Amino acid sequence: MLASLCRVAAATAIAGTPSPWAPAPDAALDVYETALRSTIDPSSLRTFHDALGREPHIAGTDGDWRVIEWLEDSFRTMGLAVERHEFWAYLARPVDARVELVTPIRHSFRLREETLDADPDTAHPELEIGFNAYSGNGDVTAEVVYVNRGRREDFITLRELGVDLRGKIALARYGGNYRGYKAKYAEEAGAAGLIIYTDPADSGYGRGLPYPEGGWANGTSIQRGSIKTIAYSGDPLTPFRPATRDAERLDPAAVALPNIPVQPVGWSVAEAIMRRMTGRALPPALVKEWQGGLPFAYRVEGGADLRVRVMVEQERRLVHTANVIATLEGARNPDELVIIGCHHDAWGFGAGDPLAGLIAVTEAARVMADAARNGLRPARSVAFAAWGAEEHGIVGSVEWCEANADRLTRNAVAYINLDAAAMGPRFGASAAPSLKSVITEVSRRVPAADGRGTVFEQLTRDQATPGYGALGGGSDHIGFYCHLGIPACGLNGRGGQGTAYHSNYDTVAWYRRVVGSDYEPARMITAMAVGVAANLASGPIVPLDPARYVTDGRAQVDALRERAATLGIEIDLGAVTAGIDRFEEALTAATAVRGRLGVGAPSAAADRVSGLLREIDRAWIDEGGLAGRPWFRNLFAASDPYSGYAAWLLPALRQAVERRDAAAIRVQADRYVAVFDRLTALTDRLTVALNAM
């Protein structure tokens, strides 16, 4: 029986019975959680939304600084200690852009959303044209090639078809990968320029009525966004070090930023171009995957008679902006830190992205500060963070992580990310393995936003167990999780009937029409965030679950074997599996002791146990990082280097498998054996520490 306890701990946490490592039943913690949940106020969330979403606030603009100052004033009014962390980052802003039909007719397209009488904010003078930050500057006129979603496999398909992109303008639709990789692969294929458009099948009339009648993209909706794809997150010129005013910086010419002009457009522009394409039709085998929602058959090539002009001029320069971090000091272990965060910058008003998350961070700060004034204060400190310049490539949070790396490595318990979190009533989460159990336990007590039971019941309506995603790229967890090894999670509510993602239509009016004006999704997200934070910050033993690394580790080894078989290569991961077995055996003893202890009492012994649980997450950090991406040091998880957003688990091995490199597979397998040996040694120490309680 004892030999199976570790597997039982991980399995029962998923199946419904709490893991021994999950928060133990605790009357005092129940009182605290209940007090926090009961004071979350939809009218407060609405007020925060009005204040934060009143004007456009791209990073470094006057509007951005007004948001920063509002956050500082609000957090101080709550009684929190406020830090303004300033940084100077290399950002991009638009100067001018053109997309034109040159032949068979001459026509210049509008590159800004149309203004709407139903939403006066869409006429705000500070709204920018559509742009992809870090586009190369250039002015090209050329034939057009449709590249589907601009994924790596799409360009491979075009090469196999004999389609030559050299000197052509690539036309890609959004989706399938991070937009920066569309630009990277187009440039590598020899394209002279790139147009990226929003296809109506993905987020326009193929999904429902367009805005303002409905909530989906209309023909002029333009998705803005960064296209930076360098091998690290944060400021492009200061990898591994904070971007202070006087920091030593790389030469911009030495940084692999895009060189070709890249311009995003709405589907009405794409329709006018693609309707005139007369070249090679889609091969029948590609129609199902490559045909979008425009009302004609898509083609691969435009033909010699169709020529399009793309001109982009952007300014890249150092921009001064800031993070805002407000801290509620812990009563017993103030140096230990749980962080709840979301970025504050936006491409326009940002009512959904980021403010649907930032209002939850702000409300979480308010209710936890109020509880502290009423005598309910967590043992560990809780920080509420609003990050700057996330939209340009996860800049502000990474700069804070790099500036505070030693302190965070020693003392951070976890990071809870709420980027654009409250976008609908359906709860979801992506998380490090060690945080899945605490999320599940909190979900049992939080009402679902749709009014049908708890979040846990919502998560298990259509499946036996809650399912959580893996953290990949694309948001502010990256610096904490992938660089420093601090466990992180992203909480979200989805299911709203529409999208205004990164467009000038992402206004408070759009949000209330599409997501709703009752702010129930934001209440749910706030309740989940404060519940997870309260559990992580309050218990004598921090509720990080090491058993999930056994089940998740085994699952990923199996997935790698399957991937290798698909690629036609043989791999031997027996040594890695044996390492997992040794870790599981050590964890069995620790789990048995933990199961007998219950809540425990605050003590130096409990602090030692909590410290060892934090070290288990840090054991995945390897100073050498990933091959070609040394900034990514977490050997458990990293972003997919071919798509950007997706997660690669056991990424050093995954990369070697994808490259079909037998020698590299053996080397990386040895690194993972070393990780599991570190985990085993830490777990042996954990058992000793638990027995001393």
Angstrom CA distances, 509 to 50, 342, 370, 420, stand at: 10, 21, 30, 16
Average pLDDT, whole number, for the chain? Answer: 96
Position 569 pLDDT exceeds 90? yes
CB proximity list for 11: less than 8 A, separation 6 or greater: 551
Q: What is the pLDDT of residue 16?
A: 55
Position 1 pLDDT exceeds 50? no
Statement: 26-90+318-538 belongs to CATH 3.40.630.10: yes
Q: How does pLDDT run across 32-52, given as a tens digit for each residue?
A: 999 999 999 999 999 999 999
Q: How does pLDDT run across 360-398, given as a tens digit for each residue?
A: 999 999 999 999 999 999 999 999 999 999 999 999 999
Q: Which of residues 539 and 271 earns the better pLDDT score?
A: 271
Q: Which long-range contacts (CB under 8 A, 24 or more apart) does 583-586 make?
A: 583/549, 583/550, 583/553, 583/676, 583/679, 583/680, 583/683, 584/6, 584/7, 584/550, 585/3, 585/6, 585/680, 586/679, 586/680, 586/683, 586/684, 586/687
Q: How does pLDDT run across 415-443, given as a tens digit for each residue?
A: 999 999 999 999 999 999 999 999 999 99
Taking the CA atoms of the chain, what radius of gyration do you get in angstroms? Answer: 25
What class has domain 95-314?
alpha beta
How sure is the predictor about 12, in pLDDT bands with cuts at 50, 70 and 90? very low
The residues spanned by each domain of the chain are 26-90+318-538, 95-314, 548-691
CB 367 within 8 A of CB 530: yes
Query: Across the chain, how many H-helices and E-strands are there?
Result: 22, 17
452: exposed, middle or buried (Cβ count in 10 Å: 0-12, 13-18, 19+): exposed
Rounded to an integer, the average pLDDT of 640-648 is 92
Per cent of the chain over pLDDT 90 is: 93
CB 337 within 8 A of CB 412: yes
List of E strands, 32-165: 81-103, 107-108, 132-133, 138-142, 144-146
Position 3 pLDDT exceeds 50? no
Rounded to an integer, the average pLDDT of 201-210 is 97
Reading the block at residue 634, the tokens are 């977490």
Per cent of the chain over pLDDT 70 is: 98
User: Which amino acid type is present at position 123?
Assistant: A
Lowest mean pLDDT among 63-72, 238-247, 457-466: 457-466
Position 8 pLDDT exceeds 60? no
Q: What is the pLDDT of residue 15?
A: 46
How sure is the predictor about 25, in pLDDT bands with cuts at 50, 70 and 90? confident
CB 523 within 8 A of CB 246: no
Q: What is the pLDDT of residue 409?
A: 98
Q: How does pLDDT run across 138-163, given as a tens digit for each residue?
A: 999 999 999 999 999 999 999 999 99
Q: How does pLDDT run across 453-483, given as a tens digit for each residue?
A: 999 999 999 888 899 999 999 999 999 999 9
Position 14 pLDDT exceeds 60? no
Rounded to an integer, the average pLDDT of 510-520 is 98
**Would you identify the CATH topology of the domain 548-691?**
Transcription Elongation Factor S-II; Chain A (1.20.930)
Rounded to an integer, the average pLDDT of 294-318 is 98
Pick the closest to residue 518 from 451, 427, 429, 418 (CA basis): 451
Q: Which is it for the CA torsion 44, 49, 55, 57, positive or negative? A: positive
Position 656 pLDDT exceeds 60? yes
Position 96 pLDDT exceeds 80? yes
Rounded to an integer, the average pLDDT of 55-77 is 98
Cα gap 38→40, rounded to integer Å: 6
Name the residue with tokens 């199902």: 288
